Amino acid sequence: MQRHLWIHAVWIPCVTVLFAFQEGSLPGGVQSFSIWGPDTMPYFWIHTAWITGVTFLFGFQGFPVRSVDMQRATDNITIRQGDTAIIRCYVDDKVSKVAWLNRSNIIFAGQDKWSLDPRVDLVTKGQLEYSLRIQKVDVYDEGSYTCSIQTKQQPKTSQVYLIVQVPANIYKVSEDITVNEGSNVTLSCLATGRPDPMITWRLLNPSAEPLDGEEYLDIIGIMRNQAGRYECKASNDVATPDVKYVNVVVNYPPTIKKTQSSETPVGRMGTLQCEAVAIPTPEFEWYRDEKRLSNTQGINIQILGTTTVLMIANVTEEDYGNYTCVASNRLGTQSASLFLYRPGSGRDISGSACVSHSLWLLLASFACLFFKC
Ligand SMILES: *[C@@H]1O[C@H](CO)[C@@H](O)[C@H](O)[C@H]1NC(C)=O
Ligand SMILES: *[C@@H]1O[C@H](CO)[C@@H](O)[C@H](O)[C@H]1NC(C)=O
Ligand SMILES: *[C@@H]1O[C@H](CO)[C@@H](O)[C@H](O)[C@H]1NC(C)=O
Ligand SMILES: *[C@@H]1O[C@H](CO)[C@@H](O)[C@H](O)[C@H]1NC(C)=O
Ligand SMILES: *[C@@H]1O[C@H](CO)[C@@H](O)[C@H](O)[C@H]1NC(C)=O
């Protein structure tokens, strides 16, 4: 037992130094390489030192000559964070001494566990398998793992690079915002993941074309047609992409889009109509010359979203003339003139656009309810 400890005392620093050299010599982490391949000539002297040292030690200990049969693969192993990694190493029953190393640490020397990490254990099958199992793999487990197999003649190593992947996760995204038209807006979407996730933006309008932005989406002088639901997607092909949304409301002052004047004979119901677009939704007022109109005897003002209708139940001679529709919100005001014409005055009663039939029917039915016709 004492001799056993002494061997470790020499072997560990020796191996430590060698692996430190290897790591330092290969940029981007140690990758697959064969210690016997022609591509490893620069490391030849390291191996020479290694072999000499280890051979000396094991020779000293007096192990018999044994053959080695281990997995040749020196590939990357890709594993998702939280999963269990099994890094395989196969030996045959003639092997003298085996060890698992992680970077510059010894994890297992034979069956002796050196690592203090409770997630780490060995998977053995008789004497033929000497695999390393790491449960609940985390990002700091990423790196090279070496199964070191010793014989008197030829120590060999099997090296695997463990790549730990983490699904994309958006941890911070802009809050929903309301801005005025013309403002500069920056939306942010910050995500973690391994490999680094790619972040893409779309405005979920019918075309939903990808927008030019990554973590930050800059919108210079935002227009009303750029309002809506923005989708931020973080993807790294590890799992389904993470998606978050930002609602952007763009305020703008009213614009009167449609007006409808009326040509109504005395005794009939006259209807004037006015439609405005605005965010926030506009408020409407009606004026007869300078006088504000309200729901009084014979006059009814209806507001249906962005449209307002002025109904005069029983048109008289005095009602003919100029009316004004005023649409306003906190960003501005716009007004338009409409006319109630005497029939035969030959005026074009249409405003800037026509009223759709369905809307017209809806308004007519409202009027009917109001005037109990
Ligand atoms: C291992 O992964 C690295 C990137 O981490 C890559 O450059 C290399 O080609 C991979 N090697 C193999 C054998 O897949
Ligand atoms: C590998 O080594 C690092 C330190 O270099 C350590 O933090 C990590 O837990 C080790 N992994 C295993 C599986 O032992
Ligand atoms: C918006 O950004 C543009 C270009 O960066 C700049 O010229 C403009 O002054 C900015 N407008 C506001 C309101 O900050
Ligand atoms: C309309 O007004 C005139 C005059 O004020 C009145 O004679 C008539 O009865 C009214 N018609 C209706 C339907 O109220
Ligand atoms: C109608 O009234 C508005 C507001 O009083 C006025 O600005 C406009 O000139 C008038 N239009 C006509 C044709 O009289």
Mutate to test the pocket of ligand 3, among 185, 186, 216, 220 (most ligand atoms within 8 A of CB): 220
pLDDT digits (tens, 9 = 90+) for 121-149: 999 887 788 999 999 999 999 999 999 98
Query: Two tokens at 47?
Result: 């191996």
> 3, exposed or middle or buried, with CB in 10 Å at 0-12, 13-18, 19+?
exposed
Please state whether the peptide bond connecting residue 280 to the residue before it is cis, i.e. omega within 30 degrees of 0.
yes
Query: Two tokens at 247?
Result: 């609602």
Q: What is the atom index within ligand 2 of the atom nearest the CA of 117?
A: 14
Measured in angstroms, how far is the CA atom of residue 289 from the centroid of ligand 5? Answer: 7
Could you give all domains of the chain from N- to C-terminal order, each with its CATH number? 2-164 (2.60.40.10), 167-251 (2.60.40.10), 253-371 (2.60.40.10)
Measure CA 345 to chain center.
63
* Burial track 310-324 (b if 16+ CB lie within 10 A, e otherwise): bbbbebeeebbeebb
Q: Are 363 and 275 in contact (CB under 8 A)?
A: no
DSSP-assigned beta bridge partners for residue 190: 172
Residues 363, 367, 369, CA angle at the centre, nearest 5°?
A: 115
Mutate to test the pocket of ligand 3, among 181, 184, 218 (most ligand atoms within 8 A of CB): 184
Helix (H, G, I), strand (E, B) or coil at 114: coil
DSSP-assigned beta bridge partners for residue 164: 79
> 137, exposed or middle or buried, with CB in 10 Å at 0-12, 13-18, 19+?
buried
Measured in angstroms, how far is the CA atom of residue 78 from the centroid of ligand 1? Answer: 10
**Nearest partner of 227 among 203, 202, 196, 191, judged by Cα:** 203
Residue 295: C-alpha distances to residues 139, 199, 368, 370 (Å): 71, 55, 16, 11
Q: Are 13 and 6 in contact (CB under 8 A)?
A: no
Q: Are 234 and 193 in contact (CB under 8 A)?
A: yes
**Nearest partner of 85 among 120, 113, 110, judged by Cα:** 120
Mutate to test the pocket of ligand 5, among 337, 339, 348 (most ligand atoms within 8 A of CB): 337
pLDDT digits (tens, 9 = 90+) for 186-228: 999 999 999 999 999 999 988 888 999 999 999 999 999 999 9
Q: Are 96 and 58 in contact (CB under 8 A)?
A: yes
Measure CA 77 to chain center.
26
CA distance 82 to 176: 33
Measured in degrees and rounded to the nearest 5, phi and psi for residue 20 equal: -60, -40
Length of the chain: 373
Measured in degrees and rounded to the nearest 5, phi and psi for residue 316 equal: -120, 175
Q: pTM for the whole thing? A: 0.66
Q: Are 244 and 174 in contact (CB under 8 A)?
A: no
First-to-last alpha carbon distance for the chain, in angstroms, is: 110
Query: Two tokens at 71?
Result: 């997995």
CA distance 140 to 163: 10
Provide the pLDDT for residue 75.
79
Residue 370: C-alpha distances to residues 25, 45, 302, 323, 355 (Å): 89, 101, 10, 21, 21
Q: Are 88 and 129 in contact (CB under 8 A)?
A: yes
102 C-beta closer than 6 A to ligand 2: yes
Provide the pLDDT for residue 266.
92
Residues in contact with ligand 5 (CB, 6 Å cut-off): 289, 322, 324, 337
**Nearest partner of 51 among 59, 63, 42, 62, judged by Cα:** 59
Q: Mean pLDDT for each 10-residue chunk of the chain (373 residues)?
A: 41 42 37 36 42 39 32 73 93 81 90 94 87 95 91 80 95 97 96 96 92 94 95 95 97 95 93 95 92 90 94 93 95 95 72 41 48 48
Residues 187, 190, 196, CA angle at the centre, nearest 5°?
A: 135
**Nearest partner of 145 among 37, 38, 32, 67, judged by Cα:** 32
Provide the pLDDT for residue 353.
39
- 176 residue type, one letter: D
Provide the pLDDT for residue 188.
97
**Beta pairing class for 177-180 and 242-260:** parallel
